[in-house]
A and B are shown apart, each in its own frame.
Chain A
Amino acid sequence: MRRLALAAALLPLMTSGCLLNDWSEDALVEGALRYRIKTLRILGIRVDPPVLAPGVSVTLDALLVSPKGEAEAGTWRTCGLSSDEPAVIQSLNCFESGQDVTELGSGSLPLSYSVPQLDVEVSCGPQGGDTGISVHECAHEVPLMLSSNFADEDARAVSHVSWATEPWPSGQAMPESADSIGRSFYFTDVVKPGQEVEIQYRLRGDVRGGLFRWYVDRGTLGETGLTVAQSWTPPASAGQKGVTTTFNTWTPPDDSSGQELRIYVVWDGGAWAEASALATAPDMVWDLRTVTVQ
């Protein structure tokens, strides 16, 4: 059950003005229809490797996009780490109090961060043995917030993460970020105003359960801003990974001739890898294709 709860929590929903952190129908409509980049928005967050445990060095990265470009700096915070029992914090109010806020770092992205030993010893009850409880089920469930300012606009994003209270077990393999998965766009070379084009996005591996979020500067996405896998090609031979493909159609506006427009695809690899029960932090990956409309 806990893993299921995490799967939902690992789907961060981000806006420039307000904070959403659920997988509600409101958020679905927002993702489906509000895909045009009109303000500074945080479209993706990644912790690499996707593990927050004492002693682990991670890279914090994010995709922050505005009509004026991509922001490249931000401040990372969390709250609730001082509890002596496993904390489950869904509300963002703890950021307001300031008493239990931990700043992970601030500055250019990506940002390196070494997860420290917690100041407070956390009581998690019996571990190992017959209980079947491993140390990584002893964790705080806390919000991880990124805030940024770019071109006079502010944006914030929150993802709930599982923050382990004990070091990562020695000898246990560290999960790889989804960023290591090969990905590519397939796109026509010629894009004309008002003319629909098909865009394929392919990933090496079986990620058929994945959700893909699309964002564009201008124009209309025929499949909306949310797509799922459309095909799966199994590996042709041992050692290969197969290919998952999703696609969208895009119609640039009639008045876009000569414009350079961006198309982003963001995939929540964390939700996919969560099935392994190893991913405890957001693991979103993204790709950009810039197109000059003829």
Chain B
Amino acid sequence: MTGLALLLACEGTGNLPPIFTAVNGREVFTELGQATIDGVFEVEPGGKLRLEIDAYDPDGDTVWLAFPMRPPGLSYEARAPEGVWEVPEDYWATELTLYVLALDTKDHAQAATELLALQIDLKPGPNGAR
């Protein structure tokens, strides 16, 4: 991620990419430009996982969010710092890597970006059903 983010920053407007700081209060570490977060988020099929995503842009630009490979039931506002994943009762996976992109402009092609990967475990519901 780092290389591309830096490359984009160099090729684009000179902007630095946004920086993630926390998700649901858990600190995001950025080392050598690579954003990582410890631990796994858990949710049950049929349940809700709220994601409060804190990020800022060093240049003061508005931060936009995007979710490549967004799973079904995940809703968000591109300019809001949160999303909600209402996991379908019949969701098929047992674990998921949820990717979040922070962009410093709405225009995908021009954006300086930072990527964060969230590991999510889907625990069986109260009845054990998926």
Chain A residues within CB distance 8 Å of chain B: 25-26, 28-36, 208, 211, 220-221, 223-232
Determine which of B4, B67, B72, B107 lies in contact with A29 in the assembled complex, contact meaning CB atoms within 8 Å: B4
Q: A211's closest neighbor in chain B, by CB?
A: B69
Chain B residues within CB distance 8 Å of chain A: 1, 3-5, 66-72, 90, 92, 99, 101, 103, 106-109, 111, 113, 115, 117
- The reply to whether B111 and A33 contact each other, CB–CB distance below 8 Å, is yes
Chain A residues within 8 Å of B90, by CB: 232
- The reply to whether A25 and B111 contact each other, CB–CB distance below 8 Å, is no
In the complex, the number of residue pairs spanning A and B with C-beta atoms less than 8 Å apart equals: 62
- The reply to whether B101 and A25 contact each other, CB–CB distance below 8 Å, is no
- Could you pull out 18 A-B pairs where Cβ atoms are within 8 angstroms? A25-B4, A25-B115, A28-B68, A29-B1, A29-B5, A33-B101, A33-B111, A33-B113, A34-B109, A35-B108, A221-B108, A223-B67, A226-B68, A226-B69, A227-B69, A228-B69, A228-B71, A229-B72
Q: A31's closest neighbor in chain B, by CB?
A: B68
- The reply to whether A29 and B115 contact each other, CB–CB distance below 8 Å, is yes
Chain A residues within 8 Å of B109, by CB: 33-34, 36
Q: Which 10 A-B pairs have the closest CB atoms?
A: A32-B68, A226-B68, A224-B68, A33-B108, A25-B1, A26-B4, A230-B72, A228-B69, A226-B69, A29-B4
Task: Say what secondary structure dominates the interface of chain A.
Answer: mixed
Q: A35's closest neighbor in chain B, by CB?
A: B108
Chain B residues within 8 Å of A232, by CB: 90, 92
- The reply to whether B72 and A231 contact each other, CB–CB distance below 8 Å, is yes
| Shortest beta-carbon distance from A60 to chain B in Å | 29
Chain B residues within 8 Å of A228, by CB: 69-71
